[in-house]
Amino acid sequence: MKSLKNVLKHPSLSELAWIIIGQVSSLALGFISIKLLSTMGTEEFGRYALVLTLAALLSAFLYGPADQGFIRHYYDYLNLGLSKTYIRVFFRFLKNAGLLTFVLFIPLVFVVYFLGAEKISAGIIIGVYLILSSVSNSFTSMLNTIRQRKMNAIVLILERSIIVVLLYLAVRSGNLTSIEAIVIILFSLVVVVCLKGFLLRKRVPEDDTVQSTESFKSNQKEIHKKVIKFSIPFAIWGVMGWLQSNSDRWIIEHYLTTSDVGVFAIMLALTAYMIATPSGAIGQFFQPIIYQKHASNNNIKKLITYFIISIIGIGLFATAVSFFFGEKIILLVSNHNFTTYWHILPLLCIGIGFFQVAQALTIHGAIKKTPQIYIMPKIVSGVFAVLSNIFFISKMGIPGAAISICITNILYLSLVAFVNKRHCHKSLYIKS
């Protein structure tokens, strides 16, 4: 237990406390948000859920992979006294990625409009939302990497609070639509993106030495090259992961109805709050510490063990809660229109639990800077997920989607474990 005790000393214990405060508050405000959003009805909630999958695709393909690269190399450059230079490269990436996304997305909006879409403004709003949502997540990841847990928690609570207040006002004033919900979230994103960007610039230490223009450009090129090299596998990983985690809603939309998407999406939102959100919080706490200690040649084997056990515990707890109280929980955050398939909630928790454990195990490859070893498991799982979703959803409807998620994520976990055994069984050679 010595390794865990060392982690849970100040300031790490203080960081953990702020993560818990932020996540618990986010969880409570998130449940309220779902309750308010559910007043749209199943069909509008289904449309809203489909927009969220587009944001997830952009993050999975572009921003998410780059985040992994910037997170993994930050402490290397901090130890070299080049943290400010490093963050400048990070900001440049966000700017270029945002411009690229906007330039590519806007022509698509006009094409859809000329093909018969009613409102071009809705497409533009969705496009801006996709960009700001991804930028906000990137800022959160980097603030967490530099271990600004308190700031992240406060901003997260602020963001959720703004959304809840504006959603409440919108519901009180009339019928809430999916586009109105996106506009409300977009407003909160504008506020928090500006705040997160300001905080990140202020909290990163200055470089140890003044660099010449030539040296500065050379260091930026080196950072850029290393981040891209590390991130490319995550782009492939991300797209396949998106297919694995989001294709079900589009296949339900195709074979069933948008209302069915809404019913299914609200249960997925619950599993996200019960499993993905706390698992993410655990990852936010452990990963920067693991990377930092690894960069200093400290033993991290026990830390990784505690990390994995924590993720497993969250999955088991959520499954038990959903088994005994699943219908009541859905009613708590929505209404009877969303409870038709409440009995599949425990199965969804089991499937998402397997996924989170598999994701946690990929830290072995990240430590060795070899994330490419997980490309094949992701490709196999992503393709299998699409085929499995088509088969089970077309045959069984929404319950088939839950079965597909379970089978796919058991396969994914098995493949990741196999890859780790083959490539990373000696990855924890770190000095004691």
- Decide if pLDDT at 89 tops 80: yes
Q: Do the domain assignments include residue 163?
A: yes
Sequence-ordered list of residues with C-beta below 8 angstroms from that of 168, at least 6 positions apart, any chain: 36
Q: Count structural domains, the chain.
A: 1
Q: Do the domain assignments include residue 428?
A: no
Categorise residue 257: left if φ over 0, alpha if ψ from -120 to 50, beta otherwise. Answer: beta
Q: Do the domain assignments include residue 429?
A: no
| Highest mean pLDDT: which range of 24-33, 212-221, 351-360, 366-375 | 351-360
How sure is the predictor about 124, in pLDDT bands with cuts at 50, 70 and 90?
confident
Q: Do the domain assignments include residue 82?
A: yes
Q: Do the domain assignments include residue 371?
A: yes
Helix axes 64-79, 277-295, angle to 10 degrees: 30
Sequence-ordered list of residues with C-beta below 8 angstroms from that of 178, at least 6 positions apart, any chain: 40, 44, 45, 47, 48, 51
CA–CA distance, 353 with 351 (Å, rounded to integer):
5
Contact 39, 111 (CB under 8 A): no
Question: What phi, psi does 208 have (nearest 5°)?
Answer: -70, -30
Q: Do the domain assignments include residue 431?
A: no
How sure is the predictor about 71, in pLDDT bands with cuts at 50, 70 and 90?
confident
Helix axes 42-58, 213-255, angle to 10 degrees: 150
| Closest to 167 (Cα-Cα) out of 48, 57, 279 | 48
Tell me the pLDDT of the chain averaged across its residues.
Answer: 85
Q: Do the domain assignments include residue 251?
A: yes
Report which of residues 174 and 317 the model is more confident about. 317
| Closest to 44 (Cα-Cα) out of 102, 122, 114 | 122
- Chain segment 195-222, per-residue pLDDT in tens: 999 998 888 877 766 666 777 788 888 8
- Print the domain residue range for 97: 2-423
- Chain segment 157-193, per-residue pLDDT in tens: 999 999 999 999 999 988 888 889 999 999 999 999 9
Contact 290, 367 (CB under 8 A): yes
Question: How high is the pLDDT of residue 432?
Answer: 35
- The number of residues in the chain equals 432
Q: Do the domain assignments include residue 233?
A: yes
